[in-house]
Chains A and B, each alone.
Chain A
């Protein structure tokens, strides 16, 4: 075998797994193995794909056989609803992958987390350091499971001190291709927000998330890091820049609808890709540790990321306009034909 380092990426069929795999195959010093239960929609050239579930105990044998140096655990279902299936993949899956890594003596684990794990609370300081307690007690599945994984991972890192466990707590991801909660919020034309609340939001470009993960894979950076762009913007400004029509909702009404109406067939939660608290309070990560110990800075500012997102959003809007234009052509053609027929008569 060559002296290339072996990187195993879980969840390569999902967005982040696929993005990181296609980024890492370009690195000469790495051999990339991808693993997922379903084949990736777009084939990544140069990646060694294994179709398997990460929860399979035989993963240990694969790790041992391939002498895997680093595992990037990205198998995660970002669903709003809590379900047993998601819990099994997200939390149990992470535990099983981490366990297999310890068993096979893999030196490094990198996983993606979110600054949402700190929780949106009224008494949050303006900038949340990585040492801040994880108080994300949301009803949303993807937030709750991330908190569980984080607290498990910090215990795991203490248990195996010679392993490098890196957690990347990324801010709101914005970009032309990503379909996370924040992008979903901004992509809709009409966006609900809480009346009288305008929290400052931290954002990051999707490409920077991939770069940050690659940086963590290529360097030894144990611990948790907040990852985000340095410039911050209030939510209302973001909505205005993204050409959204914002509808202010009374906050007790929003909570009530989430609690009561969500049980009925009228699923109000679908209009809130971010939990209500996250639209009410400030939850901005402190980037000092990213700049100093992580030794990396995002390439895009939040403003640039948002501008790119908006450009893409407008392009998709323009397609609708083109359709409308076609309709105009059609009606014009019909009118001309009618006229010609009338003249003939």
Chain B
């Protein structure tokens, strides 16, 4: 391929499927290593399309078994009659043995990312993201490739193959979506869209806010429940983080249907995005309907009063709406799970609110913070504070009749009870917290 035109290079194709880089011996098409190859007309490898992965079972390599499970690879050009499947199985076993041996010899040794074990982990991560069916074929291909030492070029070819495969899959997905071939549920939830967005949420959850979660067991594996949380942080990251905490920490990995403010449907892109990640607009009808469908629903009764809190008022709960969430829970007999989010209040330091700018921009509130609007978009990046999300004991509503939703005294009583529980949870967590950024 990279013939410099001075001296001819070897014509042979290596087992990695690439052109041999040695110079050809005098008077021959091949280098010293490949001297034993037949004439080019009979070399089938030359017809091999580039980038295609396969192992040449009838060709150069074979397996010899010497005594106690020691596998060594045979010399090239020896012919064997082993069936393809058996051959592959032997090779796969060999890799496994190799990895185990490496671990057995040095137990304290943590494999760096480019040892076989590390690479296998890397590949596993890749494969986990593929659908079952495709990961099966990808693994099979990989097993064929991982037969020798991991530094064999074939391995890298395999890795390239998998990355290519994944890229191809993404291209296919985009193509499919462009022709309208995807599914959404009645609320507009689009699982593929959510999967595409999830790495960003995961990044925020794991690395930016380093969320610590307690009491996740209070969330039921199935059936309806209403998650009631405090609301803070100027931008509603808290809803997303509670959603991610349930997806990442709870065994059922349930999707939390947060109810968002009625202002969001008027915004382009954001309205579509919220709908596609399974959220719904906050209204009594939507909440009740979702609970009746046995969904997990998240409400933030403080609303804009909570998110738009000034820094000096942090962790002081605002009024809990009009108690609409309690009515929803009573009507559908769903347990209410109080949640406290600590850390979100410090993501922005809001010093004042400008009514004038809010009216001018149409925002529900316009925060004047340490960095916003002075630094523009830079002021929108939240401080990487350490977050705590604590799920509390469920407040059961099934001891009341569904008609109790009309009992305004009971509703306001339960509203206050929930608010007090959450305030208490916040206070406990704040007393334990030493540092805003380190926890």
Contact = CB atoms under 8 A, between A and B. Distances in A.
Real complex partners, A and B? yes
Interface in A210-261: 232-234, 236-241, 251
Given A123-B283, A126-B285, A241 B275 contact: no
B268 A194 contact: yes
Most A CB contacts (10 A, CB to CB) among B180, B190, B284 go to B180
Nearest to A240: B180
Q: Which interface class (under 10, 10 to 19, 20 to 34, 35 or more) fits A? A: 20 to 34
B2 interface: no
B275 A196 contact: no
A122 B178 CA distance: 27
Interface stretch (B164-172, B181-189, B216-224, B430-438): B181-189
Given A234-B188, A240-B178, A197 B272 contact: yes
B265 A122 contact: yes
B298 to A, nearest CB: 16
A196 B188 contact: no
A196 B124 CA distance: 36
B271 interface: yes
Most B CB contacts (10 A, CB to CB) among A126, A129, A194, A281 go to A126
A126 B184 contact: no
A234 B270 CA distance: 15
A200 B289 contact: no
Nearest to A232: B186
B265 A237 contact: no
Contact of A241 (B179, B184, B270): B179
Contact of A282 (B179, B190, B265, B284): B265
B192 to A, nearest CB: 12
A197 B271 contact: yes
Contacts of A281: 265
A194 B182 CA distance: 20
Contacts of A200: 184, 186-188, 275
B262 interface: yes
B180 A122 contact: no
A195 interface: yes
Interface in A116-143: 122-123, 125-127, 129
Interface in B172-226: 177-180, 182, 184, 186-188, 190
A53 to B, nearest CB: 42
A122 B271 CA distance: 10
B8 to A, nearest CB: 51
B268 A237 contact: no
Nearest to A123: B262
B265 A126 contact: no
Contact of B186 (A126, A236, A238): A126
A198 interface: yes
B106 interface: no
A127 B285 contact: yes
Contacts of A122: 262-263, 265-266
Interface string B358-395: 00000000000000000000000000000000000000
B125 to A, nearest CB: 31
A118 B271 CA distance: 20
Contacts of A237: 180, 182, 184
Nearest to A241: B180
Nearest to A242: B180
Contact of A127 (B190, B267, B268, B289): B289
A162 to B, nearest CB: 32
A89 B438 CA distance: 72
B216 to A, nearest CB: 28
Given A123-B283, A125-B281, A129-B285, A195 B184 contact: no
B286 interface: yes
B283 A125 contact: yes
Interface string A170-203: 0000000000000000000000001111101000
A233 B184 contact: yes
A126 B188 CA distance: 10
Contacts of A198: 272, 275
Most B CB contacts (10 A, CB to CB) among A198, A233, A238, A239 go to A198
Contacts of A123: 262, 265, 281, 283
A240 B285 contact: no
Contacts of A238: 180
B280 interface: yes
A275 B157 CA distance: 55
A232 B265 CA distance: 18
Contacts of B270: 196
B269 interface: yes
Nearest to B185: A232
In the A-B complex, list the 9 residue pairs whose CB atoms are closest, starting with the nearest: A196-B268, A240-B180, A125-B285, A196-B269, A241-B180, A122-B265, A123-B262, A198-B272, A237-B180
Interface of B: 177-180, 182, 184, 186-188, 190, 262-263, 265-272, 275, 280-281, 283-286, 289
Given A122-B262, A127-B285, A237-B180, 17 more contacts: A122-B266, A125-B285, A126-B289, A129-B285, A196-B267, A196-B270, A197-B268, A198-B272, A200-B184, A200-B186, A200-B275, A234-B188, A234-B190, A236-B180, A237-B182, A239-B180, A251-B268
Interface of A: 122-123, 125-127, 129, 194-198, 200, 232-234, 236-241, 251, 281-282
29 contacts: A122-B263, A122-B265, A122-B266, A123-B262, A123-B265, A123-B283, A125-B281, A125-B284, A125-B286, A125-B289, A126-B286, A126-B289, A127-B289, A129-B285, A194-B268, A196-B268, A196-B271, A197-B271, A232-B184, A232-B186, A234-B188, A234-B190, A236-B180, A237-B184, A238-B180, A239-B180, A241-B179, A241-B180, A281-B265
